[in-house]
Amino acid sequence: MNTVLQYVKPYTKRIALGLSIKTIGTLMDLFIPWILSHIIDNVIPTGNIPMVIIWGGGMIICSILAIVGNISANRMAASVARDTTKRLRHDLFVKISFLSNTEVDKFTIPTLISRMTTDSYAIHHLVGMLQRIGVRAPILLLGGIGITLFLDATLTLAMIAILPLAALLIILISRIGVKLYRKIQIAVDDMVRVVRENATGIRVIKALSKSEHERGRFQSVNEDLTKKEKNAALIMSTINPAMSFLMNAGFVVVIVLGAYRVNEGTSEIGKIIAFMTYFTIILNALMSITRIFTMTSKATASADRIKEVLDAQNERDITVAEEDASNIEEDTSMNIPHIEFRNVSFRYDNSKFLINNVSFSLPHKATLGIIGATGSGKTTLAQLLMRFYDIKSGEILINGKDIRYMTLYDLRSKFGVVFQNDTLFKSTVEENLSLGRDIDLIQIKEAAQHAQAAGFIEEAGGFDAEVAIKGMNFSGGQKQRMLLSRALAGKPEIIILDDASSALDYKTDAKLRAALNTNYKDSTKMIITQRISSVMHADQIMVIDEGKIIGLGKHEDLIKDCQLYQEISASQLGGGEDASS
Amino acid sequence: MPPRNINPNDKKLTKIEKKQVFSRLMRYLWQYKFLLLLALVMTLAANLLSLAGPFLSGKAISAIENGFGNVDFDTVFQYAGLMIGFFAVSAILSYLLTIVMVNISRNITYKMRKDVFDKITKLPVGFFDTNQTGDILSRISYDIDVINTSLSNDVVHILAGITTVVGSLIMMLVISPVMSLVFAVTVPLSIVVTRKMTKKTRPLFRKRSAKIGELNGFTEEMISGQKTLKAYLREHYTIQKYDDNNNETVEATYNAEYHGSIIGPTVNFINNLSLSLISVFGALMYLTGGITIANISSFVLYSRKFAGPINETANIIAELQSALSAAERVFRLLDEDEEVADNENAIELKQPLGDVEIKDVSFSYVKDIPVIQNLSLTAPKGSLVAIVGPTGAGKTTLINLLMRFYDADSGSITLDGFRVDNITRKDLRLAYSMVLQDTWLFHGTVYENVTYGRQNATMDEVISACKAANIHNYIENLPDGYETMINDDGTNISKGQKQLLTIARAMLMNTSLLILDEATSNVDTRTELNIQQAMRTLMSDKTCFIIAHRLSTIQNADHILVVNNGRIIEQGNHKELLKLKGFYSEMFYSQFS
């Protein structure tokens, strides 16, 4: 909850002002009945018409003050809620944007989505509501107690004696409430997950006619969520009747006590009657306060979830201790390798080593082909180079400088990359290719030309053409060529293509390779692939198996020395030799 | 793709539609009419009990009234005891009322979520190509939540309010019909003002819900594509875009909330005004001898009771409006066109043989941009048809048509001699097993993912399928073997491994038709070679449709279709096509150049 307070803090002045105005409005609302009873009890019997009209006018003025006060206070409340939510969501999004991949994997995507959405609404709701209903209740409660104290202190103290018990009850139930609402949010995550999976896997689900099964899967998450919601609602709503019973019991005590006091002559019957009126007001105020607590415990559960994200580890940038090392300049001279891995090993927490003591160096402008079995660690190598994960031991150097001592900005701005599971966004073609980078349309068009994408983009309606969600209005091969255009645009220092042409036919692939060689000869390239033909002309080919390098050299060398390479080669080129003979 | 978006902000609802939203919401409530009736009875009882409190305390107080030294303690204690009893009953009653209302509102929420999800499973594939996942999520979580909040709180308020309003009105008419005339002015005034204001705020609330949906759509998309954004250092750029979205959303929310919150104080103002009028009016009547002070006093009491629920209702109008806009979004999703229902006479094809014939089929996603034109081909039982061609040539579209994800614009596709639109979709789709380029795994164990197509498979069958797909060893090495959980989006395994898992999934299903759409594009060729034997077994006796770029994988196909721009430009077997020295042979040799 402190997190939320922190976000509300900057608006303390506005809140204070709003609450003061609201207080005036509320007081006016309370004044009106008072004037009314004054007119009826004291003015009307005198028959003084002008006085009646004056007091009536007073009521109208109070009414006007009330409406003006309440409306402007509500407006301020809404604006505080707006600004708080805006900043909270902004910070949350910023945080998630910079969250390290390890953390993202830990949180999982559905829960990040629901924290950004449903949890942030819960807080918005609370901030708005608190300001709107949080004034009247305390005023009435304090005012009511004040007046009753004035009437008969002893009786009031008897009634107040109930309050600690009531407070205990509220605290106890809101504690439980936070836990219950937390469980609900976890169940919401599960629901989000199932719905999301159904949206993304609709083809498979339909193909396998599993709609029925999926409905069953949803039913169980829906039932679970509903059960938890019911459970929370039922437990949380015990508080209302319990509170009102407690207070009413206190009231009975007051009457009995009052009877004794009247009997002793220390109090009067009139006071006890007046007590009754104020008692109702106090009771209602207390019920409102209870409601605020219930809402708060719901928002607290959400706030805790948001705080978990805000407190999570960012991607590691340079740390202070490393600042000295970070002063080392990159050496871009040709005699220093552009990319160098020294004894690099890596594993995720509690998994086996995915990369095992890998060393290689790649000169400037060279092309490295990486080939190896499915799951051998090819993609991981690229991810380590871009520092999506930090290596467990060894060093990765670019231009002779350890990438851990570079800012992420300096590091990543060197790359143009296509991932295996890369995404297109719902937007225009141009926007998808530039991603808002500082690259002009001419360069983008050029890149599209090189990536063999210009033709179909033209047919689709040019660079302003719409791209649907995940690029669904383009074929697999077209999507890949757009991703390639994105990577090539701006002629990056290092190009990484991870299985970026798997959906391209060989002819297009060959054209792409030719374009890469002529137009991007100044870039250092890492090409991860299954196809020998994509890498056989590379300056270096790395054959990787179970995270270890088992062959490194040119095609001619590997075809002689490396058994795995021979096998791969035979499986792909074998048929060709038959056909060409 | 057909531009079918469920989220047009500018689409104005006609009056009829507006009423429909309300009446459809009521229909959900109506299912619980007996529980609602019970709730109403309990509310009345609770109201009556709340009157008993003051009555009893009055009795107790009159026993004290005698004053100093004469208090009748027996009576005081008797009534005090009774009061405790009544309060206990009233507390229990109000808790019971809560139970009833919680059950009603939660069951409705459950039903709505179920309806929305059922709908999702019945929507055509194209829907998901045009609507953001996040927006769909927003409907099933946020929007339904808003409706529920309103149902569980507001319904009770309104129920209780109506009884109070009617009761007080009667009492006031009895006391002084003339003074009640004040309400003949102020009540209609309140109604007119409220209606006017709600009319103005309605679009604001609608905009708010839509904006929230958009924001959620954006959020989902960006979080899902995070790695790419990081690689291109697009964090700040994305944050900028998010902020724009977020600002619009909070602004829309603010507008709706602020304007919505004007209604309450305004109606309250009108009520206060009527109180002022009553007091002046009452004073004049008293002077002319038309009314007694006591009656003015009770009239005022009742008029305050009368005004209470009206004020309260005005205060929750904002909530009601959000609920209506949310309901509108939910209903709009529920109204989306489903996949066309199976033909009434659609036959059930339980044991398909696998004779497929495509005749003169044309198809386009968007009108006038044909993707497939006059395509014809015959694939007899057990044959192997390969489809090759440049990317974007419509190969995947053909699969969409075979499985009826989309319906052909003209021409016919038959299976075992039956037109595919005369076969139930379920049986048609179950006739195929399919491995797609875009693999899909869900959050569940490896075992659950592999058996997804055939849940009654034995462990032995699963293991042999996985062995055949060359993924068994990998699975065995996972921390929990077959019980290892696969992450969301399967981020903890590589794409090639995902493909192998989906191949194992297909191997478990014993269908007579098989579709492989770039099934091994991310699998290394050596592994591919290792699984080739198993793939052959998988394909034997089956009618197979294979889309592949690696021409090596399809050389032994019975029939190769070379597709370009939606037309078959060449067809025949490998040797025949090479002899043609056309498109195919050019493609074939290009892989060695």
3-state helix, strand, coil in chain A (%, to 5): 70, 10, 20
Give the pLDDT band of residue A573 (cuts 50, 70, 90).
low
Q: A97-111, A294-308, A391-405: which has the minimum mean pLDDT?
A: A97-111
Chain A residue at shortest CA distance from B234: A435
Q: Per the CB < 8 Å rule, is A52 touching B118?
A: no
Please give the C-alpha separations between residue A414 and each of A249, A325, A398, A493, A524, in angstroms, as whole numbers.
74, 20, 10, 5, 10
Answer yes or no: do A437 and A563 share one domain.
no
Answer yes or no: do A466 and A339 share one domain.
no
Answer yes or no: do A376 and A452 share one domain.
no
Query: Is residue A233 over pLDDT 80?
Result: yes
Residue A134 belongs to some domain of the structure: no
Task: State pLDDT tens for residues B282-310.
Answer: 888 888 877 777 777 777 777 777 877 78
- What is the Cα–Cα distance from B97 to A308, expressed in whole angstroms? 37
Residue B144 belongs to some domain of the structure: yes
Please give the C-alpha separations between residue A30 and each of A23, A65, A265, B165, B220, in angstroms, as whole numbers.
10, 12, 33, 21, 48
| Element housing B152 (H / E) | helix B144-175
| Element housing A95 (H / E) | helix A49-98
- What is the Cα–Cα distance from B448 to A225, expressed in whole angstroms? 22
The answer to whether A155 contacts chain B (CB < 8 Å) is no
- What is the Cα–Cα distance from A500 to A420, expressed in whole angstroms? 7
Residue A536 to chain B, least CA–CA distance (Å): 10
Answer yes or no: do B287 and B364 share one domain.
no
Strand partners, A498: A528
Residue B543 belongs to some domain of the structure: no
Residue B465 belongs to some domain of the structure: no
Strand partners, A520: none
Answer yes or no: do A409 and A430 share one domain.
no
- For residue A184, how many other CB atoms are within 10 A of its CB? 23
Answer yes or no: do B156 and B239 share one domain.
yes
Which of A547, A523, A429, A413 has its CA nearest to residue A482? A429
Pick the last residue of a domain from B334, B352, B384.
B334
The answer to whether A22 contacts chain B (CB < 8 Å) is no
Residue B16 to chain A, least CA–CA distance (Å): 31
**Exposure string (b/e) for A189-224, b if CB count within 10 Å is 16 or more?**
bbbbbbbbbbbbbbbbbbbbbbbeebbebbbebbeb
A-chain residues near B77 (CB < 8 A):
256
Q: By percentage, how much of chain A surpasses pLDDT 70?
A: 96
B-chain residues near A107 (CB < 8 A):
none
Whether this prediction's pTM lies above 0.90 is answered by: no
- For residue A328, how many other CB atoms are within 10 A of its CB? 13
Q: What is the pLDDT of residue B593?
A: 54
Query: Is residue A578 over pLDDT 50?
Result: no
| Element housing A53 (H / E) | helix A49-98
Give yes or no for a contact between B404 and B425, defined as CB atoms under 8 angstroms apart: yes
**Exposure string (b/e) for B308-318, b if CB count within 10 Å is 16 or more?**
bbbbbbbbbbb
| Mean pLDDT for the stretch of residues B14-23 | 69
Residue A306 belongs to some domain of the structure: no
Task: State pLDDT tens for residues A298-357.
Answer: 899 999 999 999 988 777 665 545 566 666 777 777 788 999 999 999 987 767 788 999
- What is the Cα–Cα distance from B284 to B279, expressed in whole angstroms? 9
CATH of residue A401's domain is 3.40.50.300
Chain A residue at shortest CA distance from B475: A375
Q: Per the CB < 8 Å rule, is A93 touching B551?
A: no
Domain that holds residue A62: 1-98
Task: Compute the count of residue pairs across chains A and B with CB atoms less than 8 Å apart.
Answer: 517
Pick the last residue of a domain from B306, B334, B362.
B334
Query: Is residue A151 over pLDDT 70?
Result: yes
Give the pLDDT band of residue B7 (cuts 50, 70, 90).
very low
Q: What is the count of structural domains for chain A? A: 3
Task: State pLDDT tens for residues B444-503.
Answer: 888 988 988 888 889 999 998 898 888 898 888 888 889 988 876 555 677 778 888 888
Give yes or no for a contact between A218 and A177, defined as CB atoms under 8 angstroms apart: no
Q: Per the CB < 8 Å rule, is B396 touching A256?
A: no
Q: Are strands A393-398 and A427-428 parallel, antiparallel or unpaired?
A: unpaired
Residue spans of alpha helices (H) in A101-238: 101-107, 109-114, 120-133, 136-151, 153-160, 162-200, 202-207, 211-236
Give yes or no for a contact between B406 and B412, defined as CB atoms under 8 angstroms apart: no
Q: Per the CB < 8 Å rule, is B491 touching A579?
A: no
Which of A346, A499, A38 has its CA nearest to residue B523? A499
Token reading at A541 = 């080919």
Answer yes or no: do A26 and A92 share one domain.
yes
Q: A218-222, A472-476, B188-192, B359-363: which has the minimum mean pLDDT?
A: A472-476
Task: State pLDDT tens for residues B39-97.
Answer: 888 887 877 776 677 778 777 877 777 767 777 888 888 888 988 898 888 889 889 98
The answer to whether B92 contacts chain A (CB < 8 Å) is yes
- What is the Cα–Cα distance from A489 to A124, expressed in whole angstroms? 41
Query: Is residue B5 over pLDDT 60?
Result: no
Q: How many CA atoms lie within 13 A of A375 on its CB side?
A: 20
Query: Is residue A79 over pLDDT 90?
Result: yes
The answer to whether A371 contacts chain B (CB < 8 Å) is yes
Give yes or no for a contact between B564 and B390, defined as CB atoms under 8 angstroms apart: yes
Task: Output the average pLDDT for chain A.
Answer: 85
A-chain residues near B433 (CB < 8 A):
208
Q: Per the CB < 8 Å rule, is A93 touching B219?
A: yes
Q: Per the CB < 8 Å rule, is A437 touching B237?
A: yes
CATH of residue B570's domain is 3.40.50.300
Q: Are strands A367-372 and A524-529 parallel, antiparallel or unpaired?
A: parallel
Q: How many CA atoms lie within 13 A of A474 on its CB side?
A: 32
The answer to whether A61 contacts chain B (CB < 8 Å) is no
Answer yes or no: do A459 and A536 share one domain.
no
Token reading at B130 = 């045009």
Q: A570: which residues sit within 8 A by CB, 6+ positions away?
A: none
Q: What is the pLDDT of residue A412?
A: 87
Q: Per the CB < 8 Å rule, is A241 touching B405?
A: no
Give the pLDDT band of residue A580 (cuts 50, 70, 90).
very low
Answer yes or no: do B318 and B349 share one domain.
no
| Mean pLDDT for the stretch of residues B227-238 | 82
The answer to whether B22 contacts chain A (CB < 8 Å) is no
Pick the last residue of a domain from A82, A98, A114.
A98
The arrangement of strands across the sheet holding A401-402 comes to A355-362, A339-346, A393-398, A401-402
Q: What is the pLDDT of residue A350?
A: 66
Q: What is the pLDDT of residue B12?
A: 46
**Running DSSP on this structure, what letter comes out for residue A99?**
B
Q: What is the pLDDT of residue A320?
A: 47
Answer yes or no: do B367 and B415 share one domain.
yes
Kindly tell me the sign of the dihedral angle through the C-alpha atoms of A350, A351, A352, A358: negative
Give yes or no for a contact between B125 and A202, defined as CB atoms under 8 angstroms apart: yes
B-chain residues near A452 (CB < 8 A):
none
The answer to whether B373 contacts chain A (CB < 8 Å) is no
Residue A218 belongs to some domain of the structure: no
Which of A331, A333, A310, A345 has its CA nearest to residue A402? A331
Domain that holds residue B565: 343-431+549-593
B-chain residues near A255 (CB < 8 A):
57, 60-61, 64, 76, 80, 83
Mutate to test the interface with B, among A106, A204, A435 (most CBs of B within 10 A): A204
- What is the Cα–Cα distance from A459 to A78, expressed in whole angstroms? 49
| Mean pLDDT for the stretch of residues B33-43 | 86
Residue A306 to chain B, least CA–CA distance (Å): 15
Query: Is residue A545 over pLDDT 80?
Result: yes
Answer yes or no: do A345 and A481 share one domain.
no
Residue B585 belongs to some domain of the structure: yes
Pick the last residue of a domain from A47, A69, A98.
A98
The backbone torsions φ and ψ at residue A438, rounded to the nearest 5 degrees and listed phi first, read: -85, 65
Answer yes or no: do B224 and B315 share one domain.
yes
The residue type at A416:
G
| Mean pLDDT for the stretch of residues A97-105 | 84
Answer yes or no: do B277 and B355 share one domain.
no
Which of A251, A312, A298 has its CA nearest to residue A101? A312
Please give the C-alpha separations between residue A140 and each of A78, A247, A275, in angstroms, as whole numbers.
23, 15, 14
Pick the last residue of a domain from B334, B352, B376.
B334
Answer yes or no: do A385 and A530 share one domain.
yes
| Mean pLDDT for the stretch of residues B529-554 | 76
CATH of residue B173's domain is 1.20.1560.10
Q: B216: which residues sit within 8 A by CB, 6+ positions away?
A: A113, A117, B132, B134, B135, B137, B138, B142
The arrangement of strands across the sheet holding A548-553 comes to A415-418, A494-498, A524-529, A367-372, A540-545, A548-553
Chain B residue at shortest CA distance from A229: B106
Q: Which of B69, B392, B529 sits opposite A456 (nearest CB)?
A: B392
The residue type at A529:
T
Answer yes or no: do B347 and B265 share one domain.
no
The answer to whether A328 contacts chain B (CB < 8 Å) is no
A-chain residues near B457 (CB < 8 A):
none
Mutate to test the interface with B, among A374, A494, A505 (most CBs of B within 10 A): A374
Q: What is the pLDDT of residue A83?
A: 94
- Select the more confidently predicted residue: A222 or B528: A222
**Could you give the 3-state DSSP secondary structure of residue B413?**
strand
- What is the Cα–Cα distance from A110 to A372, expressed in whole angstroms? 32
Answer yes or no: do B300 and B162 share one domain.
yes
The residue type at A424:
L
Q: What is the count of structural domains for chain B? A: 2
Residue B327 belongs to some domain of the structure: yes
Residue A427 to chain B, least CA–CA distance (Å): 11
Q: What is the pLDDT of residue B223?
A: 85
**Could you give the 3-state DSSP secondary structure of residue A376?**
coil
| Mean pLDDT for the stretch of residues A224-242 | 91
Give yes or no for a contact between B316 and B181, defined as CB atoms under 8 angstroms apart: no
Give the pLDDT band of residue A575 (cuts 50, 70, 90).
very low
Answer yes or no: do A390 and A500 share one domain.
yes
Give yes or no for a contact between B61 and A269, defined as CB atoms under 8 angstroms apart: yes
The answer to whether B100 contacts chain A (CB < 8 Å) is no
Pick the last residue of a domain from A45, A77, A98.
A98
Answer yes or no: do A5 and A65 share one domain.
yes
Answer yes or no: do B217 and B297 share one domain.
yes
Task: Output the average pLDDT for chain B.
Answer: 82
Answer yes or no: do A20 and A60 share one domain.
yes
Answer yes or no: do B296 and B368 share one domain.
no
Token reading at B190 = 């309140």
A-chain residues near B297 (CB < 8 A):
40
In chain B, residues 233-252 whose CB comes closer than 8 Å to chain A: 233-235, 237-243, 246-247, 250-251
Q: What is the pLDDT of residue A326?
A: 64
Q: Per the CB < 8 Å rule, is A96 touching B226?
A: yes
The residue type at B59:
K
Answer yes or no: do B220 and B293 share one domain.
yes
The dihedral region occupied by A317, where left means phi > 0, alpha psi between -120 and 50, and beta the remainder, is: beta
The backbone torsions φ and ψ at residue B445, rounded to the nearest 5 degrees and listed phi first, read: -80, 165
Query: Is residue B8 over pLDDT 70?
Result: no
Answer yes or no: do B234 and B185 share one domain.
yes
Give yes or no for a contact between B525 and B500, defined as CB atoms under 8 angstroms apart: no
Q: Per the CB < 8 Å rule, is B121 touching A211?
A: yes
Q: Are strands B384-388 and B559-564 parallel, antiparallel or unpaired?
A: parallel
Answer yes or no: do A426 and A560 share one domain.
no
Q: Which residue has the tokens 């301020």?
A: A76
Task: State pLDDT tens for residues A470-507.
Answer: 887 787 788 889 999 999 998 899 999 988 887 787 77
